[in-house]
Amino acid sequence: MLFRSRRQTADAIRHLLGLRPSVALLVGPSGDEAVRIDHVRTGAILRVRPGERIPVDGQVVDGRSAVDESMLTGEAHPVPKEPGARVTGGTLNGSGALLVRATTVGPDSTLAQIVRLMRDAQGSRPPIQELSDSVSAVFVPTIIATSLATTLVWIAVGGLAVLVPALSAGVAVLIIACPCAMGLAVPTAIMVASGRGSLAGVLFKSGEALQRIGEADVVILDKTGTLTEGRPSVVHLAASPPASVDAILAAAAAVERASEHPLAAAIVRAAEARGLQIRPASEVVSRAGSGVTGRVEGRRVLVGSRPWLEEHGVLPHDLDDATRGWTDTGVSLVYAADDRAIAVFGVADPLRSSAGQAVAELGTLGLQVVMVTGDRRASAERVAQQLGIRVVSEALPATKLEVIARYQREGHVVVMVGDGLNDGPALSQADVGVAMGSGTDVALDAADVALMRGDLRGLAVAVRLARRTVRVIKQNLFWAFVYNVIGVPIAAGVLYPRYGLLLSPVLASAAMAFSSVSVVTNSLRLRHTAL
């Protein structure tokens, strides 16, 4: 049974590895050349024909198609891809041909990281394993002493005439009390649960994370990219002087182009949509949760929150009348300034369609949900009212740490969910950090759990799976212990004086094997649990 659970988990890993093609079509000056996938280097241009799997993580440089990403996101509908779009190795190309520039290869690819996380989680030790180890550390010498005492008591009562039954009883005690079932109670459940989670798009980096998320009672949520789609767009523009709006938008896009923040991407897309020329920026410096500075054509450019501009001596009071009422509709304000003009962009990011259901499911599980965001109070409170949750607005990364620490001091087990660069410290501070699969590398590295489908409903799945796994582990430990409590006296011969029953070593070994089978079978139930 243990072999079967290992085999099934290994099958899941082999299935993931099987999604990666063994060869790729490398585009070279003399034509296309088929090369082994491990020979592909970053920057190489690959051709992906219709119906083929994309060999590596990369960026589309030419062509249009729709890619089936269900193995990664669970999304049933193919995702349109055009030049500039990112693609993931192992996903299935549709009816169009693509030229893809390789950006991540080998062990750093998304598919390789998923496999590595699954293997690490299956081999890790949750805190509850310490209980099993502590019991075994006392149990083993106790059973050895009990076996020896059993043999001596038989000889003391019956003399040498009962030497054979005495030795048989002592050996039966050793066999039936073998702590195999206790040793299997935790790792088999963790192995099966981590495999079941991967099928649901939830990756646990360790057994400890799996156990702790089941104990959580407070969830801290970032807003952008977590509760919202993470693909905001600029819906309002205002500048002082008004005629400078295109120039300041182009300058802002220049310094924001290197940022991975969704609001930065919205500004870049707005500039591109207007056909503006985005000049290269230099001396770009960012502060998480505040803003970014840089130089464009020799001029200093500031982009970020209002306090960020004021900190640098820029007071955008001339734009207050233009922005009046923007935030009432849930729009976030991003300010920009250079040596000649000041502008403000109203950026809207719609809620994820599943956000309401996800928050409701977390509430049903008894979790207190709090949104902590750097957005202005009006737009943040509007989202919080829609979802019926508490909110802390205008929060810097340090503020998120303070909120998490306060709940921890009150004795709560805190889960933090985020997807951005500025969420990294908070994800590390929380008892369990959860990263959206669509987030930045920093967030994914700092997190303990990854929701690969980028859907917040996966958090409720993770909590339910963790709680059921811990329940199964406790059942395994309980029955393993009860089995020994009942089996050891029978093997020692307590029933022999009255009923003439004596357990032979052969039957004791069968009973011991049955206990291990029952523990593994109980753990395998997690494979079919509804989430």
Q: Which residues are catalytic?
A: 222
Dist CA 80 CA 71 (whole Å): 16
Bridge-based pairing of strands 281-287 and 291-296 is: antiparallel
- Give a three-class secondary structure readout of 99-137: EEEEEECHHHCHHHHHHHHHHHHHHCCCCHHHHHHHHHH
Q: What are the Cα distances from residue 2, in Å, to 176, 189, 355, 457?
A: 19, 11, 39, 31
Q: For the chain, how many residues are written?
A: 531
Contacting residues for 151 by C-beta, under 8 A, at least 6 apart: 166, 167, 169, 170
Closest of 207, 309, 328 to residue 319, by C-alpha: 309
List, in sequence order, the alpha helices (H) in 338-429: 355-364, 377-387, 397-409, 424-429
Dist CA 474 CA 472 (whole Å): 5
CA neighbours closer than 13 Å in the CB half-sphere of residue 262: 24
| Angle at the Cα of 508 from the Cα atoms of 505 and 509, rounded to 5 degrees | 90
Contact 324, 344 (CB under 8 A): no
Q: Note if the bond before 241 is cis, omega within 30 degrees.
A: yes
Question: Identity (one letter) of the amino acid at 111?
Answer: L
CA neighbours closer than 13 Å in the CB half-sphere of residue 140: 10
Contact 354, 458 (CB under 8 A): no
| Angle at the Cα of 460 from the Cα atoms of 458 and 461, rounded to 5 degrees | 60
